[in-house]
């Protein structure tokens, strides 16, 4: 065969691989408002940067007539490319080939790029659109999944792992994303469940739609499984590019610092008045975040899940940080099971990847009640405490208003190795709020006052006394638990200075196999 013919053969094979399961199935994918695997990678990666591996791989199954159904690439497009010039490894499942289901060879392709990403020290981004284990391959497909899971586990905390869910993901297809750092779901076209509606109905009798069982809004609000919901795939892919701008290539590198011309000493006068005089009145902590970070840009994670705590990425003078903030606008910013879980995982991601933590505190305490106690708030609250206490990255904490009880200790307090802890003049740092404290300290006296007016007067007097003593930042500052009381309008500058000071911080934990975080 002449070389021209050999090259033509190569080009023909490439064309064959590029159409996956065929034009008809591509049309049907488009008709569902979904892109193909290759189209997705084109949007995700810098133009012309994609290098594909294993385009000519096909499955080895003969059973169920599969020997006559061969598709090049076997349902997943793998390789590497760049995002803003930084290398990332990628895989994108191709729903047009056996519904993107995972065969032994499909799994080996994913494992190959994961192994190489670990050697190179680069993130892995997986775009999932799969019917799960390829049924015709039986246990070999299950083994393929387990090979991927094991690699997800080994890569955790070494290289960032990001999962996009752009279609149905059932069974094994949900567990690999669950082991990764961030999940992005496209609204109305993606689903995640361990067991689909049909099997659910058979086993439990529950009749439920795919959307209600595992749609993006369920995982965004109720379960907290997904970190981001995108209106469409394009937005989801752009979100991944944005997320990458805050995180390093691996755990041995620093996150990418960028040029910043937002003045570091920009004062925001409105911050001096943002905390209401009435301690029971809410305000939106995101108004503070937007005011202090570079250009007001904040990439919020799990926006609709446990909204009583806000987590996400921003930059201060170009330095990426993770922000954790109690949200007085939702459940008064109380710590409960879900908010503790949400924030703990976020803190641990940042710590694993050298991203400093900025914590904004306004927390009335832990949410009381049997619902929380029966659900294990003790163990879940301990997760957040553990995460902060174990973290060795720079930790800057600003107490805006309330910082009460156990929640005070948890929220990056000095004793949990908080590095620089500032408070606004509006801060109230105590074992509990005045109302609860008066009930306990003066309960006997109160029970002896029968006249309502007298009683109210007594309470008001005692509350004033208590506030004077504890509901301010100076009691904590007196002991050095607060390093300084700062004017709110100067907060951006003080945080940037603190981060600059801490940029060479070195801290470590004692040698151990691993810690035993209360899971
Ligand atoms: C082989 C599959 C497949 C699978 C889909 N297909 N899932 N082939 N193995 N798991 C094929 C279909 O036969 C069809 O082929 C094509 O993909 C498109 O599928 P449709 O059903 O026509 O598409 P749609 O109506 O959009 O439904 C998509 C779906 C559904 C919701 C994903 O296909 C489905 O429910 N699949 C099974 C999901 C599942 O239960 N998977 C196993 C999970 S157990 P043709 O040739 O007609 O185009 C598991 C164990 C791992 O994963 C455990 C590890 C912990």
* pLDDT tens digits, one per residue of 357-414: 999 999 999 999 999 999 999 999 999 999 999 999 999 999 999 999 999 999 999 9
Residue nearest to atom 6 of ligand 1 (CA): 99
Strand partners, 421: 397
Domains within the chain, CATH numbers bracketed: 3-244 (3.90.226.10), 269-432+472-503 (3.90.226.10), 434-470 (no CATH)
**In terms of C-beta density within 10 A (0-12 exposed, 13-18 middle, 19 or more buried), how is residue 516 classed?**
exposed
Is residue 344 part of the annotated active site? The answer reads no
Ligand 1 neighbourhood includes 132 CB (under 6 angstroms): yes
Does residue 168's CB lie within 6 angstroms of at least one atom of ligand 1? yes
Output the residue whose Cα is nearest ligand 1's atom 17. 99
145 C-beta closer than 6 A to ligand 1: yes
Q: What is the pLDDT along the chain (519 residues), one digit of tens a residue?
A: 899 999 999 999 999 999 999 999 999 999 999 999 999 999 999 999 999 999 999 988 888 888 888 889 999 999 999 999 999 999 999 999 999 999 999 999 999 999 999 999 999 999 999 989 998 999 999 999 999 999 999 999 999 999 999 999 988 889 999 999 999 999 999 999 988 888 899 999 999 999 999 999 999 999 999 999 999 999 999 999 999 999 999 999 999 999 999 999 999 999 999 999 888 899 999 999 999 999 999 999 999 999 999 999 999 999 999 999 999 999 999 999 999 999 999 999 999 999 999 999 999 999 999 999 999 999 999 999 999 999 999 999 999 999 999 999 999 999 999 999 999 999 999 888 888 888 888 888 888 888 889 988 988 898 888 888 888 999 999 999 999 999 999 999 999 999 999 999 999 999 999 999 999
Q: What are the backbone angles phi and psi of residue 130, rounded to the nearest 5°?
A: -150, 140
**Is residue 406 annotated as part of the catalytic site, yes or no?**
yes
Q: How is residue 342 written in tokens? A: 């949400």
Ligand 1 atom closest to the Cα of residue 134 is: 9
Distance, CA 333 to ligand 1 centroid (Å)?
A: 42
Atom of ligand 1 nearest to the CA of 141: 51
Q: Which of 407, 423, 427, 476 is catalytic?
A: 407
CA of 183 to the centre of ligand 1 (A): 21
| 423 is annotated as an active-site residue | no
* CB atoms near residue 334 (< 10 Å): 22
Q: How many Cβ atoms are within 10 Å of 84's Cβ, its own excluded?
A: 11
**Ordered alpha helix ranges (H), 253-363:** 285-292, 337-352
Check: CB of residue 183 under 8 Å from CB of residue 163. Answer: yes
Q: Quickly count: other Cβ atoms within 10 Å of residue 500's Cβ.
A: 14
Q: If you measure from the C-alpha of residue 129 to the centroid of ligand 1, how many angstroms do you get, rounded to a whole number?
A: 10
Helical (H) or strand (E) element with 166: strand 161-170
Nearest to 49 by CA among 21, 4, 89, 9: 89
175 Cβ below 6 A of ligand 1: yes
């Amino acid at each position: 065969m002449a070389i021209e013919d050999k090259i033509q053969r190569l080009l023909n094979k490439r064309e064959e691989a590029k159409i996956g399961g065929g034009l008809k199935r591509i049309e049907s994918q488009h008709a569902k408002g979904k892109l193909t695997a290759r189209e997705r990678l084109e949007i995700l990666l810098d133009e012309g940067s994609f290098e594909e591996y294993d385009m000519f791989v096909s499955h080895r199954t003969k059973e169920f007539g599969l020997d006559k159904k061969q598709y090049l690439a076997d349902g997943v497009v793998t390789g590497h490319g760049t995002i803003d010039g930084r290398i990332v490894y990628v895989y994108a499942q191709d729903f047009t080939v056996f519904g993107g289901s995972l065969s032994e060879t499909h799994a080996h392709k994913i494992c190959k790029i994961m192994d190489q990403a670990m050697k190179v020290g680069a993130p892995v981004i997986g775009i999932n659109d799969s019917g799960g284990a390829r049924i015709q391959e039986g246990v070999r497909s299950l083994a393929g999944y387990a090979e991927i899971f094991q690699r997800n586990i080994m890569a955790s905390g070494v290289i960032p792992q990001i999962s996009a869910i752009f279609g149905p993901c059932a069974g094994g297809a949900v567990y690999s994303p669950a082991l990764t750092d961030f999940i992005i779901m496209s609204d109305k076209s993606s689903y995640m469940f361990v067991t689909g509606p049909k099997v659910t109905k058979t086993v439990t009798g529950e009749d439920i739609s795919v959307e209600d069982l595992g749609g993006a809004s369920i995982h965004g609000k109720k379960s907290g499984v997904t970190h981001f919901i995108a209106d469409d795939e394009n937005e989801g892919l752009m979100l991944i590019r944005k997320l990458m701008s805050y995180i390093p290539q691996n755990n041995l590198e620093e996150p990418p610092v960028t040029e910043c011309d937002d003045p570091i000493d920009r004062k925001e006068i409105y911050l001096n008045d943002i905390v209401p005089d009435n301690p029971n009145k809410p305000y939106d902590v995101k108004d503070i975040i937007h005011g202090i970070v570079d250009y007001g840009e904040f990439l919020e994670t799990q926006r609709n899940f446990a909204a009583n705590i806000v987590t996400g990425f921003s930059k201060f003078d170009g330095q990426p940080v993770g922000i954790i903030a109690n949200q007085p606008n939702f459940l008064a910013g109380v710590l409960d099971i879900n908010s503790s879980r949400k924030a703990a995982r976020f803190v641990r991601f940042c710590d694993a990847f050298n991203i400093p933590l900025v914590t904004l505190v306004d927390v009335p305490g832990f949410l009381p009640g049997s619902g929380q106690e029966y659900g294990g708030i003790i163990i879940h609250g301990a997760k957040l405490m553990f995460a902060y206490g174990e973290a060795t990255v720079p930790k800057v904490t600003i107490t805006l208003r309330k910082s009460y009880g156990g929640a005070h200790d948890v929220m990056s307090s000095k004793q949990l190795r908080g590095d620089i802890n500032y408070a606004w003049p509006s801060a109230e740092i105590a074992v509990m709020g005045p109302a609860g404290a008066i009930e306990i300290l003066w309960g006997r006296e109160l029970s002896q006052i029968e006249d309502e007016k007298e009683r109210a007067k007594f309470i008001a007097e005692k509350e004033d006394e208590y506030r004077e003593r504890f509901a301010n930042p100076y009691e904590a500052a007196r002991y050095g638990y607060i390093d300084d009381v700062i004017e709110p309008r100067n907060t951006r500058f003080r945080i940037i200075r603190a981060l600059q000071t801490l940029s060479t911080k070195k801290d470590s934990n004692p040698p151990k196999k691993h810690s035993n975080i209360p899971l």
